[in-house]
Structure 1
Amino acid sequence: MALFKPTKIPVYPKLGEKVTQDTLYWKNYKAPVQIKEFGSVTNIDISPVPPHNFAVTAFTRIHIYGPISQEPVKTFTQFKNTAFCGRFRSDGQLLVAGCEDAVVRLFDVSGKVALRKFKGHTKAVHVTDFTSQQYHIITGSDDYSCRLWDIPNATELTRYQEHTDYVRCGLTSKLNRDLFITGSYDHSLKVFDARVDKSVMTMDHGQPVESLLLYPSESLLVSAGGRYVKVWDLLKGGQLLVSLRNHHKTVTSVCLSSSGQRMLSASLDRHVKVYDTTNYKVVHNFDYATSILSLALAPDDKAIAVGMTDGILSIKHRKTPDESNELSGQQRQQPAHRAVVKGRNYIPKQDDYLVSKPVKQHLAKYDTHLKKFNVSKALDAALESWTRQKKPEIPVAVMKEMDRRGTLKNALAGRDEQEVSQLLHFVIGNVIDPRFAPILIVAAEMILDIYHSVIGQSSVVDRQLMRLQDILEKEIDYQQELLEVLGMLDTVFAFCVPRKEVACPGVDRPNCLTEGEASTSRPQVQAT
């Protein structure tokens, strides 16, 4: 007796994530190191000099972490209230930070006590940064002002009072010691020159501005606020180049990769998105557990640091080539549990006779019923809730096998209202799928032939039949429109094909027709 052949379930290609060079590059990070801070991590700054320590501003403290260490190598606690915006100087020796008590403090990274205190603001200072000259700092406050300070004398040099709301972000030019830019909750970006007593350029972001970023050439400025990330051309007077809206909550921070070819944005929607700076399309995405307030990228993209609202500092370190190769080698290894069978390495001789052990055949539930010719139960087993929702190819394959055997009509017959409704629900959900349409259309026709006499007696079945009719009519309309478009494209492509010229007697004949024109031209009759 021949063995029963199980129903062959076709394997359809899966539409997974497209693997690109960016995907491989940005996924080449280790599992994140998570450090719990005392409050929300509002700012992360990376020292520009080796070993590129992290300055993390959270609550009333600024912790400095080494590139590998999970414990702070230095802590500044000279703040009475919440600290903001701890920034390194370009030589990595000094650090400046604002505070909710309106005092700006300057620290020596190797010391503990504040070297200078700058007093003058009347409200919380959220913006601090060093100028490229290294002896001046700029600050921005909730008192709507931004100021320029002299470090040696701890005195105020210039004050600008042009914003009409909180100043929450700012940065200085690395190429010009007199230029700096601020962003405010009044939706404006302002470019200031310390040699002039007012701003030299103003741009309207349209949303409260949360973060700013300058390209290395300083010809482009990036502003983030609301759901928007906008790119401005400073060489053209602040012209808007690109407006990106890829987040669905407020964007809180932006930064640039070491190569300058990728830009990263972090948002309260728990995502960090990576953009290609040539076309500003999203090429990768990172997911985090809670809303993100700050973001920083280490030199050579060796680490990504993210600060969140729940006080978690998450740091992902890039894998070394040896670690990547070791991981791929581990994935290729055999599992640890290995059965040792006596004689498995025995080489049979020429006169040996092999006695094969019969292999027990394990059948699926629907195949078990098919083997017993219980076609109705086989179809019921294939249409179980999980199978029809997660693996619709299984019920379709069973129907196809029954149709091949000529028993599909028997399997569909003799059902009550609930079972017919379940069948129609499956057909409606998959009939327009080109993989399943051929057999499901046949099944739908059989259902109509079997139960046409009871149509009108069940409101549930009637509604499903009307819905099936609407879906099929729409699909037919789509197919007709596609055929019309295909005809239009064929015409366009036909005209795009270069036409050959017909050989004419003579040397130079400008009046010679092309091959297409010669075949369609008609002789003209001249009037006598």
Structure 2
Amino acid sequence: MPEDCFAIRIEMASFKPTKIPVYPKLGEKVTQDTLYWKNYKTPVQIKEFGAVSNIDFSPVAPHNFAVTAFTRIHIYGPFSQEPVKTFSRFKDTAYCGRFRSDGQLLVAGCEDSVVRLFDVSGKVALRMFKGHSKAVHVTDFTSDRYQILTGSDDYTCRLWDIPNAVELTAYQEHADYIRCGVTSKLNRDFFITGSYDHSLKMFDARMDKSVMTMDHGQPVESLLLYPSEGLLVSAGGRYVKVWDLLKGGQPLVSLRNHHKTVTSLALGSNGQRLLSASLDRHVKVYNTTNYKVVHNFDYAASILSLALAPDDESIVVGMTNSILSIKHRKSPEESNELTNQQRRRPSYRVFVKGKNYIPKQDDYLVSKPVKQHLAKYDKQLKKFNVSKALDKALESWTRLKKPEVPVAVMKELDRRGTLKNALAGRDESGLSQLLHFLIGNLVDSRFTPVLATAAEMILDIYHSVIGQSPVVDRQLIRLQELLEKELDYQRDLLEILGMLDTMFASSLPRKEVPCSGIGRSNGLVQGEASTPRPQLQVT
């Protein structure tokens, strides 16, 4: 057989798959916040003994963090995967393990209503404060380090003196469980509590009742004070609200970006970013200038607690499935190394011969033939089954998720001159499927040129069955309404475009055309000084 004939046969035998065009997508806008908050390593996950209800970072280096879960409080180092310290002297579920500002003491509440004070370097409780009648969910130190604030399910919040282990003051103004509270770091006498009665109350220890009350509108789960303490953030229900304390507790912003209860709040980037965690498994990052969401973290389970290390070095999240997730920030060297690895993708010989292997002069490269993998519709096209090829392209997943695939197949069939054959011979179900696809995608500017041709062919082929099938008739009426609506839009847009053209034309500066012979004396010449000249009457 001549070589030319053999080459022609091979060329005829080869099949080119249908080319699916890649349309531009409206993807995630890459901002500085996106780059900043994505610069974390793969999270380290630690299994705790129960749901992680609270996480608190020590204010002093090396910034260990206390994790409250079930009947224990574990203290972890910045990069440790095992606890460096454990407090397990609780008879029931522990709550709200908090460090003092010097990092030497830790206070925690308990389901048994007893508040325990621990020395971080010791094991047993230094003090035990008894006075509440129900579980204590809120504990914190005042700014002078010598008093403790507690809030309980018995509707009371109390102040305790650490040296004498006695109760100083008790307030009973809430009408439901007190589940969150925060103390002022600038004034030892001020503190704020949040309750399931929807209210926030500010207290002054020198007064016998609250000095300010705000209504959150939902059971309050978490509170956060800005460093300046002029703004307060509350979380409860699906809402995160910001209050201006300097203006009598006026609400500034109400955010509703979660679709389940918001459980925890944190402040990052030196007060420039606010983070909220929710039972919907998301952590939202807000810009504190305009309170818009600038980033989002996804997790595997509902989130109960959230904390950030100083300078955002790590993000720690506690979930309802007892998993503690820790994300550490990448160093600049690690970020550069990862970028270089992505650019240099290793070849097969790297795994066989090693990273530094250099081919020798006499080496012979044996290449394997590349097997062509065809899609289902391409396999049918290769067999010239045009109707089946269109059916495969119109399968439910492809039709809904990748409409560009059926459109590309129709375009290829039209190029071959077989689109009419592929559309013909369909029963009511097949025709209904085609019309459903047309209704959903015909007015999409990316697909209109191809689908308009297909629609004309369908009407030409099946005009005799119109009026015989109620299902097809309803879809044809929908298609007609859709086209009429789109035509109305186009007319309105053309009218607006005409009005804009008129406005732009009238706003342009007019150039005066001088008359022949006397152009310089009849008015001013553009660009010359505005010196008045005598006007001539031209008849």
**TM-score tier (shorter):** 0.7 to 0.9
- The amino acid that maps onto 1:460 is V
- The amino acid that maps onto 2:167 is E
Work out the CA distance in 1 between the residues paired with 2:64 and 2:224.
20
RMSD of aligned alpha carbons: 3.1
**Which of 309, 315, 318 matches 1:298?**
309
**Which of 464, 482, 491 matches 1:471?**
482
Unaligned 5+ segments in structure 1 are 348-356, 510-528
Tell me the secondary structure at the aligned position of residue 435 of structure 2: helix
Q: Bigger CA drift: 53-62 or 403-412?
A: 403-412
- The amino acid that maps onto 1:14 is K
For residue 323 of structure 2, what is the aligned residue in structure 1?
312
Determine if the alignment matches structure 1 residue 441 to structure 2 residue 452: yes
Q: Bigger CA drift: 25-34 or 231-240?
A: 25-34
Which structure 2 residues correspond to residues 102-501 of structure 1 after superposition, within 5 A? 102-338=113-349, 375-486=386-497, 497=507
Report deviation, 1:230.
0.3
For residue 74 of structure 2, what is the aligned residue in structure 1?
63
- The amino acid that maps onto 1:119 is K
Work out the CA distance in 2 between the residues paired with 1:112 and 1:460.
76
Q: Bigger CA drift: 375-384 or 83-92?
A: 375-384
Identity %, equivalent residues? 81
- The amino acid that maps onto 1:452 is H
- The amino acid that maps onto 2:103 is G
Determine if the alignment matches structure 1 residue 97 to structure 2 residue 80: no
1:324-375 CA deviation, whole Å, 9 max, x = no partner?
22222222233342499xxx9989xxxxxxxxx9999887665666677654
Kindly tell me: are residues 398 and 507 of structure 1, through their superposed partners in 2, closer, same or farther at Cα, counting changes over 3 Å?
closer
Report deviation, 1:434.
0.9
For residue 54 of structure 2, what is the aligned residue in structure 1?
43
- The amino acid that maps onto 1:132 is S
Aligned residues: 499
Q: Bigger CA drift: 100-109 or 360-369?
A: 360-369
Work out the CA distance in 2 between the residues paired with 1:152 and 1:504.
96
Report deviation, 1:462.
2.2
Q: Bigger CA drift: 412-421 or 317-326?
A: 412-421
Work out the CA distance in 2 between the residues paired with 1:199 and 1:280.
29
Work out the CA distance in 2 between the residues paired with 1:73 and 1:49.
16
Work out the CA distance in 2 between the residues paired with 1:236 and 1:494.
51
Work out the CA distance in 1 between the residues paired with 2:372 and 2:52.
60
Report deviation, 1:405.
4.6
Work out the CA distance in 2 between the residues paired with 1:360 and 1:152.
79
Work out the CA distance in 2 between the residues paired with 1:450 and 1:232.
66
Work out the CA distance in 1 between the residues paired with 2:308 and 2:282.
15
Work out the CA distance in 2 between the residues paired with 1:358 and 1:299.
56
Kindly tell me: are residues 499 and 147 of structure 1, through their superposed partners in 2, closer, same or farther at Cα, counting changes over 3 Å?
farther
TM-score, normalization by structure 2: 0.84
Report deviation, 1:79.
1.5
Work out the CA distance in 2 between the residues paired with 1:420 and 1:268.
45
1:269-311 CA deviation, whole Å, 9 max, x = no partner?
1111111111111111111121111110011111111111222
Report deviation, 1:489.
5.4
1:11-33 CA deviation, whole Å, 9 max, x = no partner?
21133222222112111111221
Work out the CA distance in 2 between the residues paired with 1:215 and 1:267.
20
1:87-124 CA deviation, whole Å, 9 max, x = no partner?
10000001111112222111110011111111222222
Q: Bigger CA drift: 378-387 or 82-91?
A: 378-387
Kindly tell me: are residues 95 and 491 of structure 1, through their superposed partners in 2, closer, same or farther at Cα, counting changes over 3 Å?
farther
For residue 351 of structure 1, what is the aligned residue in structure 2?
none
1:194-221 CA deviation, whole Å, 9 max, x = no partner?
2222222111111111111011111110
- The amino acid that maps onto 2:239 is Y
TM-score, normalization by structure 1: 0.86
Report deviation, 1:255.
0.6
